[in-house]
Amino acid sequence: MHDGQPAPLGDTTEPELFTWEFAADPYPAYAWLREHEPVRKQRLPSGVDAWLVTRYADARQALADQRLSKNPAHHDEPAHAKRKTGIPGERSANLMTHLLNIDPPDHTRLRRLVSKAFTPRRVAEFAPRVQELTDQLIDKFIEEGSADLIHEFAFPLPIYAICDLLGVPREDQDDFRDWAGMMIRHGGGPRGGVARSVKKMRGYLAELIHRKRLEPGDDLISGLIKASDHGEHLTENEAAAMAFILLFAGFETTVNLIGNGVYALLTHPEQRARLQKALSEGDTGLLETGVEELLRFDGPVELATWRFATGPLTIGGQDIAAGDPVLVVLAAADRDPARFDDPDTLDLSRRDNQHLGYGHGIHYCLGAPLARLEGQTALATLLRRLPDLQLAAEPDDLRWRGGLIMRGLRTLPVKFTTAQ
Ligand code: HEM
């Protein structure tokens, strides 16, 4: 797809950002920005001006820079303007006071508490359930010989997985799927449906947390309620915000890891054949490095979430004023030739691969172990059960969502024979 077509260096034609062509393949534009304007003030579709940081070294530094706050109160625009910009405002204050919108010391305290409940061990123990969910979803469409892998596979898998992990009863999980579907479809669009879905989710989570406090189970929400540190506990409000961010941060990202990952494999047949061969020989090493490479090559999070300068600072030689929003472009940093050899080449066995797909610093993705588990299980199972899986559309006919933060396909039509 993008191989072999980096923007020609020295090309002074400024790329247009946020068009449909850009959504389909933003990488040439990012190559131009890295080369010509690595820290650039950009008017976003919402009307907000933000700094885009595109080089790997600057991106990594900015992600860990404590002078860049996650708290939208540091934005220099008045609060009433924030509602229309996509920057989280105060309207849903309760659910929005979560890890991605707060700074130390609150962030340190909440992250420590959640880490006690959301442990790598809990994720490892969850592996059989992820495998079972993956197989059940494939069972539903395997007889058809074709499917839309976004709607029938990549979309439901993470939502059922995180609901199970949190302890949302099975009979309520389809409601979650519908609310999440509304949020993903209209994330940057009509506010009414999204606001209603958030409201329903908030009401449901508050009630669920209340119930789990009375009757704890073996699930993550009960773990969050129980977790304590130096005598400190999460309040019910904090637990609700935490459950919400686990759902929200872990959902569309994983949909797109699976969607973008399958798409990249299907459009790079030699890499896909390598992986299929390794898996058939029982070697999972290439699956592990491969999922990391898919995250680097075309990851779900195109831009890291908002940051705001708490005082004047300099990034990549560019002065940034207090109150200015900064967006770190992970997708651009992860294709920086100053950091990665042949950055536009997909190489599933790439080892020197410290990509920024999960962020960096204190906000580094809390769900990375779960995302890896889901990504690896989904890809390995698809390739094993549908060995001749192929695209059922021309790559140029596929539509990308074109949101600001996330990068993902709207649909992924595939076909396969079912005779095995
Ligand atoms: C943070 C990516 C899956 C929960 C982040 C950040 C990135 C990221 C880039 C940092 C954002 C920033 O600094 O602005 C991804 C990707 C995923 C994924 C690419 C899938 C492939 C998940 C899952 C969960 C999750 C499955 C949970 C179930 C979180 C949380 C944070 C976070 C809670 C905030 C951490 C903090 O602020 O301390 N993720 N994520 N993510 N992620 Fe993920």
Whether 3 maps to a domain, the answer reads no
Whether 90 maps to a domain, the answer reads yes
Ligand 1 contacts CB of residue 416 (under 6 A) = no
Whether 9 maps to a domain, the answer reads no
- In this prediction, residue 268 has a pLDDT band, given cuts at 50, 70 and 90, of very high
Ligand 1 contacts CB of residue 126 (under 6 A) = no
Segment among 80-89, 197-206, 274-283 with least mean pLDDT: 80-89
The DSSP annotation for 352-364 comes to S----TT--GGG-
Q: How far is the CA of 8 from the centre of ligand 1 (A)?
A: 33
In whole angstroms, what separates CA 260 from the centre of its chain? 11
Residue nearest to atom 43 of ligand 1 (CA): 365
Q: What is the pLDDT at residue 188?
A: 47
Ligand 1 contacts CB of residue 333 (under 6 A) = no
Share of the chain above pLDDT 90, in %: 71
Ligand 1 contacts CB of residue 359 (under 6 A) = yes
Give 11-36 pLDDT, tens digit per residue. 568 889 988 889 999 999 999 999 99
- Hey, how many other C-beta atoms are within 10 angstroms of the C-beta on 407? 22
Domain, as residue range, for 71: 20-415
ipTM metric: 0.99
Strand partners, 308: 69, 325
- Hey, how many other C-beta atoms are within 10 angstroms of the C-beta on 77? 17
Nearest ligand 1 atom to the CA of 247 is: 28
Q: How far is the CA of 144 from the centre of ligand 1 (A)?
A: 34
Mean pLDDT of 167-180: 90
Q: How far is the CA of 221 from the centre of ligand 1 (A)?
A: 18
Question: Which amino acid appears at position 27 of this protein?
Answer: Y
In whole angstroms, what separates CA 326 from the centre of its chain? 18
Whether 13 maps to a domain, the answer reads no
Whether 220 maps to a domain, the answer reads yes
The CATH number covering residue 100 comes to 1.10.630.10
Ligand 1 contacts CB of residue 88 (under 6 A) = no
Whether 8 maps to a domain, the answer reads no
Query: Which position has the token pair 């200015």?
Result: 324
E runs forming strands in 11-48:
39-43
Whether 167 maps to a domain, the answer reads yes
Cβ atoms of 224 and 234 within 8 Å: the answer is yes
Ligand 1 contacts CB of residue 68 (under 6 A) = no
Whether 125 maps to a domain, the answer reads yes
Ligand 1 contacts CB of residue 260 (under 6 A) = no
Tally of structural domains, the chain? 1
